[in-house]
C-alpha cells in the first residue's frame, strides 16, 4: 500500500495489519518499508535465530553436509571452483553463527551477495579473463580524493 495511505488512514492500516503477516509501504522517493506487529517480528527473529544456530551446529559437526546442500539451495554455487565452495561454506557457517549471536542477519545477506557476484564472474569466461589478467600498462598516478 502507498505510504500516504498509512498517513491518511492509520486505523484502517492497523486493521489490515491484524489480518496479514505484514504490510509493505511503498514510498516514491525512498526504500519501501515493511510494517508488522511486534509479536510477529519477535517470533520471526526467534525462528531465524534458532535456524541459524541449528544450521551452524550441524555444519560444524559435518561441513560436508552444508557443502552438499548448498548447490540445491543456491544453484549459482555450481559456478564456483571447489576451493571457493569450501571457503564460502566456512565463511557462511562463521558469519551465520555471529549474526545469530547479535540478532542481525545483514552480514549473512552481504556475504551471499558477495559470493553470488564471485560466481557470476566465474560463469562468464570473458569477464573472468578481464578481471584476472594483469593490466599491460600503468594507468598513472591516482589523484588524491577531495573532501566533499
Q: How many C-alpha atoms does 117 have within 13 Å on its Cβ side?
A: 6
The residue-averaged pLDDT of 23-39 equals 87
What's the pLDDT score for residue 127? 92
Q: How many CB atoms lie within 10 A of CB 127?
A: 12
66-98 pLDDT tens trace? 888 889 999 999 999 999 999 998 898 889 888
Residue located via cell numbers 553463527: 97
Cβ 62 vs Cβ 89: under 8 Å: no
134 vs 147: CA distance, rounded Å: 31
Cα atoms in the Cβ-side hemisphere of radius 13 Å centred on 29: 0
Pick from 101, 72, 98: nearest CA to 85: 72
pLDDT (0 to 100) of residue 107 = 94
Each residue's pLDDT tens digit, 33-43: 888 888 888 88
Provide the residue ranges of all domains of the chain, joining segments of one domain with +.
39-132
Confidence of residue 1 (pLDDT cuts 50, 70, 90): confident
Percent pLDDT > 90 in the chain is 30
- The yes-or-no verdict on residue 105 having pLDDT over 80 is yes
pLDDT at 103: 81
Cell numbers of 20, please? 496479514
How many Å apart are CA 59 and CA 62, to the nearest integer? 5
Amino acid at each position: 500500500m502507498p505510504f500516504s495511505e498509512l498517513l491518511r488512514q492509520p486505523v484502517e492500516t492497523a486493521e489490515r495489519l491484524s489480518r496479514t503477516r505484514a504490510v509493505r509501504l511503498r514510498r516514491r522517493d525512498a526504500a519501501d518499508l515493511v510494517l508488522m506487529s511486534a509479536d510477529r517480528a519477535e517470533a520471526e527473529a526467534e525462528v531465524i535465530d534458532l535456524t541459524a544456530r541449528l544450521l551452524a551446529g550441524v555444519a560444524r559437526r559435518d561441513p560436508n553436509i552444508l557443502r552438499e546442500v548448498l548447490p540445491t539451495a543456491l544453484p549459482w554455487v555450481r559456478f564456483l571452483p571447489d576451493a571457493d565452495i569450501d571457503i564460502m561454506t566456512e565463511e557462511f557457517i562463521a558469519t551465520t553463527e555471529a549474526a545469530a549471536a547479535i540478532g542481525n542477519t545483514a552480514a549473512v545477506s552481504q556475504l551471499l551477495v558477495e559470493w553470488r557476484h564471485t560466481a557470476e564472474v566465474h560463469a562468464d569466461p570473458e569477464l573472468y579473463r578481464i578481471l584476472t589478467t594483469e593490466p599491460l600498462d600503468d594507468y598513472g598516478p591516482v589523484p588524491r580524493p577531495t573532501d566533499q
